[in-house]
Amino acid sequence: MNSLPFQSLYDCLAEFQQRFNAHTRVKKLVVNWDRSIVVEATDSASVATMMIKELHVTEVLSGAHPDTSNPIHLQAGESALIRIFSGDYNPAHALIEGDLAVFSSEKDKVKLEAITMVIWGL
């Protein structure tokens, strides 16, 4: 397997934040969709939260800061999460392979699937 492009999950999410914010088409998908997405590694202590507000990922926080009304929680091994958020591992494949778990409302799952397809394609 190739070496991971990032040393830590936090670094990877920080880079993803820039990619997300620079993407014009993805903004159409996140209109009125302010959420906090908790990203948790199952094989290490790494947990981070991406805050999406007014069409942007405004910050990446260390630790879990779940939204009480619309919680979104992603779980996978740390290397899988890094590969997913750096575009090396199709999240749809990761879900099918059982490497990724997504806990949220059905509507938010549909939205997440759409976001990943816009950013990384099929």
Partner 1 sequence: MFKKLSELLFYISFGAGLAFGTSSFTIIAGLFEVVSAPWVLAAILASGLICVLISLSVAELASMYPSAPGIRTYLKIGLSDQISLVLTFLYLVFMVLVAGIEANMFALVLSAVFPAVSPVAAISGLIVFTVVVNCFAIEFPRVLQVVTTLAMILFVIGMGIYGVVSSPTDYVFTSLAAGCRHEEVFLLPIAMVMSIYLFTGFEWVTLLGFSPQSYERRIPVSMPLAIATNVVSYSALTVGLACVMSRVQIHETPIPQLPYLTALLGGSGAHVACGLSFLAVFSTFNAGIMSGSRLMYTLTREGKLPRWCAIMWYRTGTPIGAIFTLGILSLASSLFIYQFRLELPAAIVGSSIVTLVYAAFMLAALRLRKSQHSVRRRFASPVPVWAQWLVIVVLLLIGLSTLVSSPVNSGQVAIGLLAAFVIAIALARRSHTKSTAAIGDTQGDAS
The contact set with partner 1 (CB under 8 A) reads 25, 28-29, 71, 73, 75, 90, 92-93, 95-98, 101-103, 105-107, 109-111, 113-115, 117-118, 122
> Of 5 and 66, which CB lies nearer to partner 1 in the complex structure?
66
Question: In terms of Cα–Cα distance, which of 12, 61, 14, 15 is closest to 36?
Answer: 61
CB of 8 to partner 1, least distance (A): 22
Q: How far is the CB of 7 from partner 1 (least distance, A)?
A: 26
Residue with smaller CB distance to partner 1, 7 or 121: 121
Which distant-in-sequence residues (6+ apart) come within 8 Å of 87 by Cβ? 119, 120
Residue 43 or 54 with smaller CB distance to partner 1 = 43
54 vs 97, which CB is nearer to partner 1?
Answer: 97
Q: How far is the CB of 5 from partner 1 (least distance, A)?
A: 20
Residue 97: name the closest of 108, 114, 115, 84 by CA: 84
Q: In the bound complex, what is the minimum distance in angstroms from residue 113's beta carbon to partner 1?
A: 7
Token reading at 115:
């976001």
Cα three-residue angle 62-68-70, rounded to 5 degrees: 95
Q: What's the rounded Cα separation, in Å, for the pair 33 and 84? A: 22
